[in-house]
Amino acid sequence: MYVAVKGGEAAIDAAHRQMAAARRGDPAVPPLTVAQIRAQMGFAVARVMAEGALYDPDLAALALKQAWGDVAEAIFLLRAYRTTLPRLAASEPVDTAHMVVRRRVSAAFKDLPGGQVLGPTFDYTHRLLDFALAAEGQASEAAPAAPDDGRAPDAPMPRVADILGGEGLIEPETAPADEATAPVPDLTRDPLTYPADRATRLQALARGDEGFLLSLAYSTQRGHGGTHPFAGEIRVGEVAVEIVPEDLGFPVVIGDITVCECQMINQFTGSRTAPPQFTRGYGLTLGYNERKAMAMALVDRALRHRELDEAATAPAQDEEFVLSHADVVEASGFVQHLKLPHYVDFQAELDLVRRLRRAAAEGVSHDAPEGAPEDAPHNTSAETTP
């Protein structure tokens, strides 16, 4: 068997052609349209937007189509596209208290101003395969009109954390004095350095891999850095994004985006400087990514051990460990780079192992300067360490 070792361009072209054909699949089956993906694969689109850090459902749907449904690959496509875009402005903080709410639940209070709004959710569904969906072309049942609950659609829906804040039971959410007037850090324009401030950490978590954050969050529930959380509130809906154009000097709305926000309320027994009160973990995602927002809130809270004077013993509390490994594009790229040729380094290792084995077989003492004949001293400089 002869092993072919070299060859590049032709092989790459052929692989790309095969990939294109495989992605398209059976030509007898009609191709998916981007509009179909956007409308009918909404959770996938939302995840690609969140971790791709770019709010554009059409491009996210296109990325999913191009990526053959591989979510990590679609995220990567969106991130690479993002690089070509200029940063025109930083928005004003979005005000989730004025969200047009589609879903809002609190696990902390049975009822509260604005009420519990279940909205579209998998919660309380029975996970039974619905074979009716397999029938092609069947008209889907029209969504029932929302029952009149007597609530005006624009009734105020104060955030649970704000309600608790009124009593001073929960820590106020104010930026530290040195950060209050500073521009919001931008992880895409300034590299992550440690220790990172909370705003930077939250940015990294918002872009972070859902699976990784989910597992970390889960670990905090199983005793690895426990934070005693309650889901104070989860809300999903549309918020307005405002910017202040330099030539206008006042905010203008540039569009609405869907976000999912989770405020975890955590027990805190107090420290030398703070009275006992509830503390917060915060999660926010572009698009409807509830699982991610909840996991993010738990991990955010775990990472706040320093300011809350808590012992850091668990992986989820280790800022460098969490933030350095949360990005799916970085992780996927580096793990998969092991597919690239490493002939040269492997050759170097091969050479070394063979020499060590030879030395072991010959019973060479480690104390003797062995100087294998193949080795050639090379440093001519005097800088050697005694």
Partner 1 sequence: MSADAITFGYLDDQTKRMIRRALLKAVAIPGYQVPFAGREMPLPYGWGTGGIQVTASIIGRDDVLKVIDQGADDTTNAVSIRRFFRRVTGVAATEKTAEATLIQTRHRIPETPLTTGQILIYQVPIPEPLRSMEPRETETRKMHALADYGVMHVKLYEDIARHGRIATAYDYPVRVNGRHVMAPSPIPKFDNPKMHNAPFLQLFGAGREKRLYAIPPYTSVVSLDFEDHPFEVQRWDRVCDLCGAGDSYLDEVVTDDTGGRLFVCSDSEYCTTRRDAGHRGPAADSTAAGALGATLSAVARDRTEDRA
Q: Residue 343: which H helix or E strand, with range?
A: helix 343-361
In whole angstroms, the minimum distance from the beta carbon of 72 to partner 1 comes to 10
By beta-carbon proximity to partner 1, the closer residue of 149 and 375 is 375
Question: Of 31, 309, 352, 358, which one interacts with partner 1 (CB under 8 A)?
Answer: 352
By beta-carbon proximity to partner 1, the closer residue of 87 and 127 is 87
336 binds partner 1 (CB under 8 A): yes
Radius of gyration of the chain (CA): 27
In whole angstroms, the minimum distance from the beta carbon of 357 to partner 1 comes to 11
Cis peptide before 195 (omega within 30 of 0): yes
d(CA 165, CA 159): 10
Cβ contact 70:195 at 8 Å: no
8 binds partner 1 (CB under 8 A): yes
Ordered DSSP codes for 293-315: HHHHHHHHHHTTHHHHT----SG
In whole angstroms, the minimum distance from the beta carbon of 370 to partner 1 comes to 6
Q: Which residues contact 225 (CB under 8 A, 6 or more apart)?
A: 219, 302, 305, 312, 313, 314, 315, 316, 317
| Coil, strand or helix at 158 | coil
In whole angstroms, the minimum distance from the beta carbon of 214 to partner 1 comes to 22
For 213-245, give one letter per residue: b (16+ CB within 10 A) or e.
Answer: bbebbebbeeeebbbebbbbbbbbbebbbbbee
| Interface segment toward partner 1; rule CB under 8 A; list 41-49, 120-128, 300-308, 358-366 | 358-366
By beta-carbon proximity to partner 1, the closer residue of 94 and 192 is 192
362 binds partner 1 (CB under 8 A): no
By beta-carbon proximity to partner 1, the closer residue of 136 and 190 is 190
246 binds partner 1 (CB under 8 A): no
10 binds partner 1 (CB under 8 A): yes
By beta-carbon proximity to partner 1, the closer residue of 66 and 116 is 66
Judged by CB under 8 A, the chain residues 85 through 114 that form the site for partner 1 are 86
* Torsions phi, psi for 240 (to 5 deg): -85, 140
Judged by CB under 8 A, the chain residues 190 through 209 that form the site for partner 1 are 190-195
* CA end-to-end distance (rounded Å), the chain: 51
Tokens 């540039």 belong to residue: 254
By beta-carbon proximity to partner 1, the closer residue of 150 and 371 is 371
189 binds partner 1 (CB under 8 A): yes
383 binds partner 1 (CB under 8 A): yes
330 binds partner 1 (CB under 8 A): yes
In whole angstroms, the minimum distance from the beta carbon of 270 to partner 1 comes to 28
User: Binding-site residue total for partner 1 (CB under 8 A)?
Assistant: 71
By beta-carbon proximity to partner 1, the closer residue of 37 and 63 is 63
Type of residue found at 385: T
Other CB atoms within 10 Å distance of the CB of residue 43? 14
Judged by CB under 8 A, the chain residues 27 through 86 that form the site for partner 1 are 76, 79-84, 86
Q: Residue 24: which H helix or E strand, with range?
A: helix 9-24
156 binds partner 1 (CB under 8 A): no
Which tokens belong to 113?
């101003």
183 binds partner 1 (CB under 8 A): no
In whole angstroms, the minimum distance from the beta carbon of 322 to partner 1 comes to 13
Cα angle 256, 231, 210 (rounded to 5 degrees) comes to 65
Judged by CB under 8 A, the chain residues 301 through 320 that form the site for partner 1 are 320
In whole angstroms, the minimum distance from the beta carbon of 363 to partner 1 comes to 11
